[in-house]
Amino acid sequence: NAGVTQTPKFQVLKTGQSMTLQCAQDMNHEYMSWYRQDPGMGLRLIHYSVGAGITDQGEVPNGYNVSRSTTEDFPLRLLSAAPSQTSVYFCASSYVPGDSYEQYFGPGTRLTVT
Amino acid sequence: AQKVTQAQTEISVVEKEDVTLDCVYETRDTTYYLFWYKQPPSGELVFLIRRNSFDEQNEISGRYSWNFQKSTSSFNFTITASQVVDSAVYFCALSDPNTGNQFYFGTGTSLTVIP
């Protein structure tokens, strides 16, 4: 199993550009989520999904969109990049909640917006 | 509201010393889960332990041990005989099944083990 994969690993955008961060998992996990990690702030939840076709907002959803058309994939879209979105982005997956399981994290995407 | 506090921002110890990383959490729910993750300099997040709110037994795994105390809302992590490879940022997290399995992370503790 590849686990949770993310592409790209690094990305530089100009203000106003849009892009999609890709996330895929091959563990048949129902639950997937996106976090951003900023210095001194830990990881903050952006969006999450409890299954295909179901998404919800986390703590910091503004400026980001998600969709979940398959169990495996959970892309994160930046609609119009801003310097405040410079961060490291992590995708994670786990089994269905109800009995909270640990989340498995991808390797991260380091995004810089200039 | 759920909240996790890791008051120790940075800790430095000399190799072979013991070190305890503190984690204090807040939640109104009776069912919740606590986690520790390690983030080495390479950047990936590595799961260390999961504990549910009904299990207050301490756990030991090699040089790692965890002390869960509901009375003080704490879930502290101790590394015994620290090694240079333990140098990393450690995150404590809280998950509440009643809020869609959202994870609430602390701000992390950066541990440096000096050889």
Q: Give the pLDDT of residue A37.
A: 96
Q: Do A97 and B97 touch (CB under 8 A)?
A: yes
Average pLDDT, rounded, for chain B: 93
Could you read off the pLDDT of A31-65 as tens digits, one per residue? 999 999 998 888 999 999 989 999 999 989 999 99
Q: Do A105 and B44 touch (CB under 8 A)?
A: yes
Could you read off the pLDDT of B56-112 as tens digits, one per residue? 888 888 999 999 999 999 999 999 999 999 999 999 999 877 766 788 999 999 999
Range 46-75 of A in CB contact (< 8 A) with B: 48, 50, 56, 58
Q: Which residues of B63-81 are buried (b: 16+ CB within 10 A; e: fewer)?
A: ebbbbbeeeebbbbbbbee
Q: Which of B45, B93, B100 sits opposite A97 (nearest CB)?
A: B100
Q: What whole-number distance in Å separates Cα of residue A80 and Cα of residue A85? A: 10
CB of B21 closer than 8 Å to CB of B6: yes
Q: What whole-number distance in Å separates Cα of residue A19 and Cα of residue A78? A: 5
- Tokens found for residue A60: 């910091």
Could you read off the pLDDT of B20-44 as tens digits, one per residue? 999 999 999 888 999 999 999 999 9
Q: Answer whether residue A98 shows pLDDT above 60.
A: no
